[in-house]
Structure 1
Amino acid sequence: MLKGFRLTLGFLTRIPVNINWEVRDGDLEKGIIYFPMVGLVLGGISALSYQVAAYIFPDIIAIMCGMLALVFATGAFHVDGLADTVDGIYSARKRERMLEIMKDSRVGTNGVIAIVFDFAFRFAGLCTGKMLNAPLWLLFLVLPVAGKMVQGMVGYKGTYAREKGLGLFIGTLSGGRTLVCSLIGILIMTISFGICGLAAAVTVFVLIYGFRRYVEKILGGLTGDVMGAANELAEILFLLCLYGFFRIL
């Protein structure tokens, strides 16, 4: 279990992980059950950075420090996927050209807009986090979990959109491991924010599944970039849904 967690941690983050054993085919896919826990590690880094900065700087700057720590810890891994996905599917080109655009290392106008709104929504949501009657560090802690807990559902029984390439988690995940990944994430959200966290987590699953179907209809399948985009969207949607359910419930 520890080896699987370390392998997954090394894959999803820039945290130095010494992997001194043979990695076999399928090992990364089995690590899907550790995705929410990796989210907690990333959230812990982000929350700690916020807390330390909050002792020195005004809250608004401390929030930016917490967000920046997450970027450094992940290398903006999923942000890049979001930009590539938006550049591709909103390019008004044919499917083959969309996939080519998504592989291009350059970021287009649509991708830049997506990145700006990604960070803008995240920053605004965290700045008003005290409205949730919960410590802001807790929001920093669990937010990355929201993005990781939907990854199994996005990749499960999916079809890789390209003829060749690495679709590590697309169509290769078992139903049991996918379910465990989802349930761990939902449990963390429920423990953290009660019934509102549970309702928000379930709503995020529904919305991200809709996103998956939308992309599949356009591209005829999924790519790693789409999974990255789903991560970013899930975090933003969880923030928005959490606020909504706190008002309702």
Structure 2
Amino acid sequence: MSQFALFKLAVIFLTRVPVALSGKVSDEDINLSSRYFALVGLGIGLCMACALWLLSLCLPMSVAILFTLGLGLLITGAFHEDGFVDVWDGFGGGWCKQQKLDIMKDSRIGTYGAVALIILMLSKYQLLLELSEGVAKLLFAVVMAQTLSRMTATSLIGKLPYVQLDAQSKVKPVAKVLQPTSRAILYASGVIVLLVGVSLFEFSVWHSLALLGTLWLTRWVCQQWFSRQLGGYTGDCLGAAQQICEIVVYVFCVVSLQ
């Protein structure tokens, strides 16, 4: 596939945006498309930020934030939130690896997942509301969170063995290899967003380095968590890692940009 086709495949994989893609898709194409996951996150973040700004012109900020979170769910089809819920249900309700995988592939939601989802969405709403005193900072935080969270979650690929689940479950096929070139493109996407933040907002180089360090630590914790629970990762694990990293970015912004 051409690089543009790989980018379109990444859009198809992570969102519900209707994109035409001709030809067959191989496992190698899926592996290569993961290099653009952070760029897709950047696009999602820009859409959400634009919607939030427009809604804030005619609605109270609290309502604008709520509707913007809803828009994010529509764009992605709650893809990552679904993985987050499945991970909490599986890890919370299963006693062994196979039982955890069986719970994770079940389309029903359990108590662990339901409570985790409520806390997740309330956390996003409250953290964004805390940032709403400065609209520019709020919009930047949304774009940054969508980009860097996908960069960090995708970078887990190759750090752990992939637990085969695709043939049995409702999840999409998942990239299992992240080549050095793909990893470089993935990281460059996040660095570009941080450089824009340094240039346009009160986000210093030290803030950027501290945030990258915090995300690296979060990734390490997720890596240890998945390894202990499953001995590897699934697509649901990557979705859960993305949601956790998104929350971490918002928390970091609340602490550092206030």
Moved more, 193-202 or 58-67: 193-202
Query: Equivalent of 1:168, from 174, 198, 203?
Result: 174
Structure 1: runs of 5+ lacking an equivalent: none
> Counterpart of 2:240?
229
Contact 2:37 2:151 (8 Å CA) reproduced: yes
How far apart, in 2, do the equivalents of 1:64 and 1:163 lie? 34
Deviates more, 1:10-19 or 1:24-33: 24-33
| Counterpart AA for 2:188 | L
What is the aligned counterpart of 1:159 among 158, 161, 184? Answer: 161
CA distance in 2: counterparts of 1:194 and 1:6, whole angstroms: 33
Name the aligned partner's letter for residue 222 of structure 1.
Y
The unaligned stretches of length 5 or more in structure 2 are 198-202
8 Å contact kept, 1:160–1:167 = no
Distance 1:33 1:48, change over 3 A: same
Higher relative contact order (CA 8 A, sep 6+): 2
* 1:197 aligned partner: 208
Using structure 1 for the length normalisation, give the TM-score.
0.90
Which residue matches 2:30?
A: 28
1:98 aligns with 100
Q: In structure 2, do the counterparts of structure 1 residues 109 and 190 end up closer, same or farther at CA, with 3 Å as the change threshold?
A: farther
Q: Give CA-to-partner distance per residue, 1:45-101, whole Å, 9 cap, x none.
A: 111211221121111001111111100000000000000001111115122111100
Cα distance in 1 for residues equivalent to 2:8 and 2:23: 11
Structure 1: distance between partners of 2:239 and 2:129: 24
Give the partner amino acid of 1:95: K
Q: Distance in 1 between matches of 2:195 and 2:234?
A: 30
Residue 218 of structure 2, aligned match among 201, 207, 210: 207
Q: Structure 1 residues 19-28 or 66-75, which shifts more?
A: 19-28
Question: Percent same amino acid at aligned positions?
Answer: 26
Is 2:72 the counterpart of 1:70? Answer: yes
Farther-moved stretch of structure 1 (198-207 vs 46-55): 198-207
1:116 lines up with 2:118 in the alignment = yes
Instruction: Note if contact 1:157-1:173 (Cα within 8 Å) is conserved in structure 2.
Output: no
Q: Show structure 1 runs of 4+ deviating over 6 A.
A: none
Instruction: Give a deviation string over 1:1-25, Cα, whole Å, max 9, x none.
Output: 2211111111110000011234333
Amino acid at match of 2:186: C
Deviation at 1:175, TM superposition (A): 3.0
Distance of 1:11 and 1:92 partners within structure 2 = 28
Q: CA contact under 8 A between 2:149 and 2:246: conserved in structure 1?
A: yes
Q: 2:45, 2:147 within 8 Å by CA — same for their partners in 1?
A: yes
